[in-house]
Amino acid sequence: QVQLVESGGGLVQAGGSLRLSCASSVRSAVGWFRQAPGKEREFVARIGWPSGTPTYADSVKGRFTISRDNARATVYLQMNSLKSEDTAVYYCAATFRVSNTYSKKDDYDYWGQGTQVTVSS
């Protein structure tokens, strides 16, 4: 059974940084999504497997970096220059499917429980 466990969320001031972790029981393509109150869950970033190719939403490009530690089957999301609009619950998701699409919730089969990120202005 695939298990994903996020950690690293918390409260940070605007302009600050956080690093989220997604510990997985498998090695696969992994995406990060976020959901703010009253809003749809939106794509943030993805890292391919085994290529490791990163892809980002325009809203986080240049501020967030996705990476993976293959030995630990862990994917990280380094978030810098955080803004109040980054406040949301962040979820990691995994898929074994080979696809050209990666930014929709339906592109992923397994989800973690989420971790709260709150950016104070």
Give pLDDT, residue 98: 83
CA torsion sign for 44, 41, 97, 74 is positive
Give the residues of the chain that fall short of pLDDT 70.
none
pLDDT value of position 1: 86
pLDDT of residue 69: 92
In a 10 Å sphere around its CB, with 0-12 CB exposed, 13-18 middle and 19+ buried, how is residue 75 labelled? buried
